[in-house]
Structures are given as structure tokens and as C-alpha cells.
Structure 1
Amino acid sequence: MKAPLHVEPWNPADAADRAAVAAMVLRYHQQTESEKGSSAIELPDRYRAEAEDPVATFAGSTVLLAKELDAPLGMLVLTPTAPGWCEVKRLWVETEARGRGAAKHVLMEAAHRAAADGSGLRLSVWEWRTTAIALYERLGFSRVPSWDSRAGLVCLERPADG
């Protein structure tokens, strides 16, 4: 029997958490670049910098880790943006952990934390990530006009009371 999943904020002072976040951010960007038809090895500097120094990159944000026992299985970055909104960034679940609820767990914890501050959640996702879009819609996110000029992005929001 598998241990239950739980979600907790990462501890950037903890070397294991820091290494896990750095590795997951790197895999997130490598997969995204590969899906876009770009080199997964030669990431743009801004993406490589996130993996090299997640503490500095995510300062001012909350990084949530989905864990089983003490092993990180997934992550999400929650960043305050416009008044009344927090944005979900870098949602990633390790390949071997997919289908076990880690994405749902970190999203629901993000929604809880945002709502506690009176904020809703917003996110953007590439249109080809249909499984992710379906999950977001099941969790109360609705498509909204894009706030991002990049072609192929779907923008979604979940109000604080959603």
C-alpha cells in the first residue's frame, strides 16, 4: 500500500527540497521545450536560471511540493500577480507519479492558500496539454481571454469562491 500523498511548502534551506525543486523545474522546461520543437538540452537562459537558482527565482512566491513520505513527486509555484489573483506556474509531476493525484493535490492546496487571502487562481497552459486542461476545468477553472501574447496558450481562472 502506498503512503498517502501530502502537500507542503518547500523549505529552500533544506538541501534535498532545493535539489528536488531544481531538478523538477529543469525537467519541466526540458519537456516544454521539446514539445514546442525546440532543443530540450539548450534551454533559454531565463529557464536554465530557474533550475540553477530556484531560491532566488521563486523568492516572493510559494512553492508547494506534493510528497509521498518525504519523496517529492510534484510541485507548483504560486505567485501573487494582479490584485485578487495568484498565478500557478511550473506545475510538474514526475513521470512515474502521474495519475496518482499529485497535480490535483497541489492545485487544491494552492486554491486553498489563495482563497485564504481572498484571491483566485489563474494559469496559462499550452493548448496541446489537453489532459492538464481537462483537470483544470474539472477543478473549477474556466477559460478566459488570454493575457499572454504567445500563440498556443490557453488562459484559465478559478475565482476565490470557486
Structure 2
Amino acid sequence: MSTPSPIAVDRRPGRDLAPAAAEGLAGLLADYHLQTQAEKGEAVAGVTELPDRYRSEITDPRSAFRDDLVLLASCGGTPAGCLVVTSPVGGGAEVKRLWTAPKFRGVGVASRLIGAALAYTDEHGVRTVRLSVWKWRTGAVALYERLGFTVTDPWEARDRLVCMERRTA
């Protein structure tokens, strides 16, 4: 049995993504959005059929996440997962687009990404980190709960969307 490659997490503002990193992020986001559409019962044949707001993240992630922190996980140089943290505003930030490529699931990629995101928010004095997750993504909900997130009143009125937050002391 081979030893898995260590998980490396690179964190930088979207505007500072190198071309190869932006390309890796775009691929992960394409998989994320296509899978999400299918899970919502709104499957599309490809990226060109996604709603504009999602398609723009894929076609130009450096602009879409220009002022946000982008976290990219890789294993052996291969993109393994991603997560975006919005720029802190008024003591709060939002975690978005957590995705682990299917072949890297179960080895701690998501946990490393969330850990890096929480370290960043702690470093920047963020008191409340919020996120939304689809109800059927029970593994993600359980991970967030283990890391101190709790369900809160929704800030988005979308059916089957769970809103969560984590407050620091």
C-alpha cells in the first residue's frame, strides 16, 4: 500500500493566483457547481449552461474572488480541494465553495481547508464566520458542527439551504 502524498494548502487573494492555480481552481469550481446543480435536481450538460454567477467564477476565478482569500489544497501537485473566505467586514467573514475532488475524499482535505480558513479569520480578528451548506450534504454539516459551527437563522431564502455560524470568544 502506498503512502498518500501530504496535503499542501496554499492561501492567497484571488487576484494573486498564478495561472496554473487559477486553472486548478476553475476545474474544482466547475466540478462543484455541476455536482450541486445535479443534486438540486437541475442538472446541466456543462459549464456553459450554469447560471451566470457560477459560470463567471469558473471562467475568471481571479476576478470573481479578487479580494477574497482563496485556499487551494493539493496532493502530490494535483488540485485536491478549494475553499474561499470572503474579505472580513465588520468582524465577520463567510466561508464559500468548500469542495474536495472525489478521489481525494476521506484523507483530510476538507478539514485542512477549514482549519486554514479558521486560522486566517482568527489572524484577522474575525469574530463570526458564517457559511451555508445544502441540507443533503450531511458529511459537510457534520464536519462544520465538529468544528464549532451551529445552525442559525437563514440569511438566504433558498429551500434546503442550512445557514451556520461560528463565533469566537
TM-score scaled by structure 2? 0.89
Partner of 2:69: 62
Unmatched tracts of structure 2, length 5 or more? none
**Bigger CA drift: 134-143 or 39-48?**
39-48
Deviations 1:8-66 (A, max 9, x none): 11574522211100111111110000001113322112111110010110011010011
What is the DSSP-based 3-state SS (H/G/I as helix, E as strand, rest coil) of the residue aligned with 1:48?
Answer: helix
CA contact (8 A) 1:118 1:160 kept: no
What is the total number of aligned residue pairs between the two structures? 161
Alignment CA distance shift 1:4-1:49 (3 Å): same
Query: Which letter maps to 1:63?
Result: V
Deviations 1:50-109 (A, max 9, x none): 100101100110100112232220000100365111101111100000111000000010
Partner of 2:144: 136
| Displacement of 1:2 | 1.6
Alignment CA distance shift 1:13-1:148 (3 Å): closer
Q: State percent identity of aligned pairs.
A: 42
Equivalent of 2:95 in 88, 97, 107: 88
Does 2:121 match 1:114? yes
Matches within 5 A, 1:39-58: 39-41=43-45, 42-58=49-65
What is the DSSP-based 3-state SS (H/G/I as helix, E as strand, rest coil) of the residue aligned with 1:80?
Answer: coil
Does 2:7 match 1:5? yes
| Displacement of 1:121 | 1.5
| Displacement of 1:138 | 0.7
Aligned partners of 1:76, 1:62: CA distance in 2, in Å?
8
TM-score scaled by structure 1? 0.93
Unmatched tracts of structure 1, length 5 or more? none
Query: Which letter maps to 1:89?
Result: K
Aligned partners of 1:74, 1:9: CA distance in 2, in Å?
12
